[in-house]
Amino acid sequence: MRVVFFAPTYPVEMVQFTRGLAEVGAEVYGVADAPKESLPKGLRDSMHGYLQVPRIMDEDDVMNRVSTWLKGKSIDRVLANWEPLTIMAARLRERWGLPGMSVDTVTAFRDKQIMKERVKAAGLRVPRSMRVRTEAEIRAAAEEIGYPLCLKPIAGAGSADTHKVRDAAELSAVIKLMRHVEEASCEEFIEGEEFTFDTLSVRGVPVYENIAQYLPKPIEMRSQEWISPVIITVKDMYQPRLQPGVTLGRNVLKALNMGEGYTHMEWFLTPKGEAVFGEIGCRAPGGHLVDQMNYTSDIDLFREWARVACYGAFEARAPRKHNCGIIFKRAIGQGRITAIHGLNHWKQMAGPAFVDEQLLRPGSRRRDWMQTLVSDGFVVCRHPDWNEAYRLSMAAATDITMYAG
């Protein structure tokens, strides 16, 4: 089984997906723009070959270079788990006549307007939305949809460049911030709690499912620096309150013709108990959510994804044992980290519920919290009881403080 894997170096969890491919017996040919000598040894050991390209986002150039590099070799799969590269992987599959989702299918997971149109055509509840490219189109869409509304890139990932707009004055300010975005989706703002629906699927049917709750909603996480974003996987994801989201998610996969691999969907639970579609990507969730899912079920979903992608099989047992919380921290101040307060006390309080901690240490330069959810690091806890997992997660959000200066 020979596999081309785009971007095995970035984001950081792609190293684990590469390892998973190697462990299920794949001969991995990695393609990225990082120098080979900069790759960690474990990653190099997981690959049979590696091609450095000048610009990984230059699709035509990358496809031509890969075709020349691998000329004469029989390739079985072309894979990508980083959202910006999923269409390129589909294009190369079509060029080479390989199994996997088509460009048309993947485009519906990447283009938010096409996505919503296909989901809506299946009779599922989606926010009212319009594709916009100019200031005039944005203002016309806002007039038709009404406030509050949400403005986001058509091909965005995560919550980057996503804004809640409450009135015409805020719209004028947001338009200035969005001028670098070529296409956007102007859509109805949905009030309610926000959850994920994450799946690993074989022929479009989930073989592993996960729900996690965002605390607070991502759009709020991205708008206030003082917030410590919290995400908690829900052990009891099939409870009656969340069942509408599970049903919605499964139907979305059918509507978008999902094949093999990961999906990461976001959906809203309104105060009336209605599940409303948000958006979905045909790639693994970021922000260490795969790690959380592993902690939830005591499983290795990096390896199981590889088995699914290569052989269409899922072999692991995956009971839901824990609610797992990840808490991202942002330092007070700018420059380099100077101190961390409250960490040891929180770890002692969490006891065996504490599972991981990767905070930047004093002397490290702060990350740009607007560009990465991981911010200045994170802590992870898990517990079979939701209330206790929630309590520990909120304590980490409020009681651990990082300083920079």
pLDDT band at 159 (very low <50, low <70, confident <90, very high): low
DSSP string of 262-315, one letter each residue: EEEEEEEE-TTS-EEEEEEESS--TTTHHHHHHHHHT--HHHHHHHHHHHS---
Task: For the chain, give the percent of residues with pLDDT over 90.
Answer: 83
13-17, 178-182, 278-282: range with lowest mean pLDDT: 178-182
DSSP string of 34-45, one letter each residue: S-GGGS-HHHHH
Dist. CA 402–CA 342, nearest whole Å: 9
pLDDT band at 400 (very low <50, low <70, confident <90, very high): very high
Dist. CA 72–CA 260, nearest whole Å: 27
The pLDDT tens digits of the residues spanning 113-136 come to 999 999 999 999 999 988 898 988
CA 20 to chain centre: 18
124-128, 186-190, 286-290: range with lowest mean pLDDT: 186-190
- Burial group, residue 199, by CB count within 10 angstroms (0-12, 13-18, 19+): buried
Query: Average pLDDT over the chain, rounded to whole?
Result: 95
For 296, the token pair is 């939830």
Say which CATH superfamily domain 128-188 falls into: ATP-grasp fold, A domain (3.30.1490.20)
pLDDT band at 27 (very low <50, low <70, confident <90, very high): very high
CATH of domain 2-100: 3.40.50.20
Rg (CA), the chain: 21
pLDDT band at 192 (very low <50, low <70, confident <90, very high): very high
Tell whether the model's pLDDT for residue 158 goes beyond 60.
no
- Burial group, residue 371, by CB count within 10 angstroms (0-12, 13-18, 19+): exposed
DSSP string of 331-342, one letter each residue: -BSSSBEEEEES
Higher-confidence residue of 166 and 335: namely 335
Higher-confidence residue of 157 and 222: namely 222
The pLDDT tens digits of the residues spanning 194-208 come to 999 999 999 999 999
Tell whether the model's pLDDT for residue 152 goes beyond 90.
no
Which class is domain 193-404? alpha beta
Three-state DSSP state, 6: strand
179-183, 286-290, 305-309: range with lowest mean pLDDT: 179-183
For residue 153, which amino acid is it?
P
The pLDDT tens digits of the residues spanning 341-365 come to 999 999 999 999 999 999 999 999 9
pLDDT band at 222 (very low <50, low <70, confident <90, very high): confident
Residue 98: what pLDDT?
98
The pLDDT tens digits of the residues spanning 226-260 come to 999 999 999 999 999 999 999 999 999 999 999 99
Dist. CA 149–CA 165, nearest whole Å: 5
pLDDT band at 219 (very low <50, low <70, confident <90, very high): confident
Instruction: For residue 62, give the nearest of 40, 30, 110, 16 by alpha carbon.
Output: 30
Domain ranges (residues) in the chain? 2-100, 128-188, 193-404
Tell whether the model's pLDDT for residue 157 goes beyond 70.
no
For 300, the token pair is 């290795």
